[in-house]
A and B are shown apart, each in its own frame.
Chain A
Amino acid sequence: MSDAASDIAKLPARGALYPAGVPAAVRLAGPWIALALLFLLLPLVFASGSALTMLSLMGIMIVFALSYNMLLGETGLLSFGHAVYYGLGGFLTVHAMNAVIRDGLPVPLPLLPLVGAAGGLLFGIIFGSVSTRRAGTAFAMISLGLGELVASSSLILRGFFGGEEGVSTNRTKLLHLFGLNFGPQIQVYYLIAAWCLVCMAAMYALRRTPFGRMCNAVRENAERAQFVGYNPQVVRFIAFSLAGLFAGVAGALAAINFELVNSAAVGAEQSGLVLLAAYIGGIGNFAGPVIGAIIVTWLEVMLSDVTEVWQLYFGLLFIGMVMFAPQGIAGLIMVHEPLWQARAYGSMLWLAVTYLIALLPALVCLAGAIVVIEMTYHISVKASDGPAISLFHLTLDTTSVKSWLAAAVLLGGGFVLFRLTWPLVGAAWHDAFVEARGAGRAK
């Protein structure tokens, strides 16, 4: 007992990044200053036009996914209509920009996301007052219904939503401060990065307030939260409205980035995308939606270049995550934290090796699945282009039995080998945890 206690005393405190004696203010602000520097320096590394566009999209998606996680991850509200606040924030911003341009008002562009924030908050309050009376499945269905209500209205109210072509604007026609006209993408990137940083810090701070903790309590057990003296409906309502606010900022940033908002911004696909991003990244951790936003944006841009059925891969990835890794990518990383804390480096290395061993057949299986999907798509929809397709730098004949056999062998063989190698990972995982427990760090 005393041995274990002294062992623990020798180790640095949990999560300690700094040596002792660093002031609390630096500890608190340090990660954010580092993040700000990262945002500042990223365009120097990824300087091409397409990379800047993708970075801008990632920044928007990070804000959007984090705002979504205020609902799903923090408060336990599964929403299928979060794009409503994103889209309406975007539409209000575009109309505000056009009004500023028309009347020559002295408003610079960097302040316009505030319009989106106000709009998102307003509609969050309106729709939240109806939908947060219920939680669980009923809330999910209501959010879906409200999403459809707004999406269908967007095709009827053409004056506000601009019909099929949407509402466009010109971000360079506003008041220029410090000679910034926001024509070049790099200036827009920095605008988005600054707002992204502010929103990230605000949402992080919010989840550490007593209110943030009450949200968690309502998620875990609404009845007990009520015993403590808080009304779960009010907590849900406030969380919902604030999530609407940040979604509105994301929508405003998107409006500034594209100089166009159309009815797709309030639609079900956008709502689904943010759900996918937050969940794939991991809803139990603040970093999760950030990781998810980056990965989903990257996959969306990259996969849609490579294949026309990219959304199928997206859906399969999502189902795979729901089935086998419900804590998301951040959760997958975090399960290794106790090993890291216990400094069980030797068994971590062996664990990494077993991961690689199991990864190989998994990749073979994946390649087989990709070949099957692409060949099916080709023969059923694009048969008129001839039987040959090119995959992985190989040309395959989709009408020959050989190609299909090869794909089946890859798929089935990879799966069987994966099932054979997976117990290795389990064993390594068990050993690592036994060692970590010996060091008194993992429970």
Chain B
Amino acid sequence: MLELVTISTLNGVLYGMLLFLMASGLTLIFSMMGVLNFAHASFYMLGAFFGFQISQYIGFWPALVIAPLLVGGIGALIERYGLRYVHRHGPVAELLFTFGLAFVIVEIVQMVWGKGPVDYRVPQSLDFSAFTVFSTNYPAYKMFELLTAVAIFAVLFAVLTRTRVGLIIQASLTHPHMVAMLGHNVPRVFMLVFGVGTGLAAVAGVIAGPALVTQSNMAAALGPILFVVVVVGGLGSLAGAFVASLLIGLIQTFAVSINLSVADVLGRLGVAPPTPGGVLADVWTVTVAQLAPIIPYLLLVLILIFRPVGLMGTREH
């Protein structure tokens, strides 16, 4: 039991940090430009595929640097020549633009790498077990993922709060006109933030790719959960995104290991389940582990009922 709790906590924190790597970029982009980047998970997927392709040629470590730079560059170009143009048509058009982008990126990935998974492996220098908890060997690669995510989080935090660029970005979030009057190129700041945000998603893709399965449905599988994170945390709140990422990471990881159904609980209380075979009989026999994929969405609904602005949200958008 203790073993399960320890391992699940480690995995949950790791998953949460990966979610936060993406949610932080998404939140920054949203609070600055008012655009929820629907294609954010697609940039994560592009990061994974670029990482795979580059590591085929020159190895994993260069890929870890080059792939996010490439994806961030693509993101910045898309902001400059696509999103900035669409801005004149209003926020719905911007959201729809990124929706179409997500659609197209999936198709392009399928066009180039096919629909099946690609053979993206953990690099050999990290392919050993870091330590043993009770009887489980914990892989070093997972520790590397966790440390990378934490390091990037620390750097991001330092840049945002301690540097001049960070101050300009923070000021552009709340007072874009005043920042422009002071002589800063606000559209270029937007482009930079979009590029950095998509680059962060790509980092998550490069390091998560070998641990998960790198294939063309990975954006569609993760994207909706990412949006749950930013809505549950409160749209535009970085701290909220952090808490929600960890919360959802932990809940989902723990749920997978709980094998309990409604029938079990009611059975212990002495209530007999309805006769099997009915249309809704499944409700009684579903286990918590089976429910794991829908728990984030249930959490979303609960948050919306009891706290519509999200955990740490302050503004109505």
- Chain A residues near B (Cβ < 8 Å): 72, 76, 78, 80, 95, 130-131, 133-134, 136-138, 140-142, 144-146, 148-149, 152-153, 156-160, 268, 272, 275, 279, 309, 311-312, 314-316, 318-319, 322-323, 326, 373, 376-377, 380-381
B210 at the interface (CB under 8 A from A): no
Q: Give the residue of A138, A153, A315, A316 whose beta carbon is less than 8 angstroms from that of B294.
A: A153
Q: Determine whether the beta carbon of B304 is less than 8 Å from that of A131.
A: yes
Q: Give the residue of A78, A130, A158 whose beta carbon is less than 8 angstroms from that of B96.
A: A78
- Residues on the B chain within 8 Å of A323, using CB: 82, 85-86, 97
Chain B contact residues, majority secondary structure: helix
Q: Determine whether the beta carbon of A309 is less than 8 Å from that of B107.
A: yes
With known contacts A78-B96, A159-B282, A312–B297 Cβ distance under 8 A:
no
Comparing B15-23, B124-132, B285-293, the segment that makes contact with chain A is B285-293
Q: How far is the CB of B217 from chain A (nearest CB, A)?
A: 11
Q: Determine whether the beta carbon of B317 is less than 8 Å from that of A376.
A: no
Q: Determine whether the beta carbon of A145 is less than 8 Å from that of B300.
A: yes
Q: Give the residue of A142, A146, A326, A373 whose beta carbon is less than 8 angstroms from that of B89.
A: A326
- A-B contacts, 10 of them at CB < 8 A, read A78-B96, A130-B304, A134-B316, A136-B91, A145-B231, A157-B283, A318-B96, A380-B111, A381-B112, A381-B114
Q: Determine whether the beta carbon of B297 is less than 8 Å from that of A146.
A: yes
- How many residues on B have C-beta within 8 angstroms of the other chain's C-beta atoms? 55
- Residues on the A chain within 8 Å of B294, using CB: 148-149, 152-153, 156
- Residues on the A chain within 8 Å of B108, using CB: 312
Query: Which 3 A-B residue pairs are closest in the complex by CB-CB distance?
Result: A149-B297, A312-B107, A315-B103
Chain A contact residues, majority secondary structure: helix
Tell me the residues in window 25-66 of chain B with beta carbons closer than 8 Å to chain A beta carbons. 30, 34, 36
Most buried by B among A138, A152, A322: A322
B92 at the interface (CB under 8 A from A): yes
Q: Determine whether the beta carbon of A142 is less than 8 Å from that of B304.
A: yes
- Residues on the A chain within 8 Å of B293, using CB: 152
A204 to B110, CA, bound (A): 41
Q: Determine whether the beta carbon of A78 is less than 8 Å from that of B92.
A: yes
Q: Determine whether the beta carbon of B114 is less than 8 Å from that of A380.
A: yes
Q: A78-B92, A309-B111, A318-B103 are in contact. List 19 more A-B contacts (CB 8 A).
A: A131-B304, A133-B304, A134-B304, A136-B317, A138-B231, A142-B231, A145-B296, A149-B297, A152-B294, A156-B294, A160-B280, A272-B99, A312-B111, A315-B100, A315-B107, A316-B104, A319-B100, A319-B101, A377-B111
Tell me the residues in window 242-287 of chain B with beta carbons closer than 8 Å to chain A beta carbons. 277-283, 286
Q: How far is the CB of B116 from chain A (nearest CB, A)?
A: 10
Q: Determine whether the beta carbon of A141 is less than 8 Å from that of B231.
A: yes
- Residues on the A chain within 8 Å of B90, using CB: 326
A144 to B99, CA, bound (A): 12
- Chain B residues near A (Cβ < 8 Å): 30, 34, 36, 82, 85-86, 89-93, 95-97, 99-101, 103-104, 107-108, 110-114, 220, 224, 227-228, 230-231, 235, 277-283, 286, 290-291, 293-294, 296-298, 300-301, 304-305, 308, 316-317
With known contacts A138-B235, A376-B111, A145–B103 Cβ distance under 8 A:
no
- Residues on the A chain within 8 Å of B231, using CB: 138, 141-142, 145
- Residues on the B chain within 8 Å of A133, using CB: 304, 308
In the complex, residue of chain B having the shortest beta-carbon distance to the beta carbon of A137: B36
Q: Determine whether the beta carbon of B286 is less than 8 Å from that of A156.
A: yes
Q: Determine whether the beta carbon of B95 is less than 8 Å from that of A140.
A: yes
Q: Determine whether the beta carbon of B301 is less than 8 Å from that of A145.
A: yes
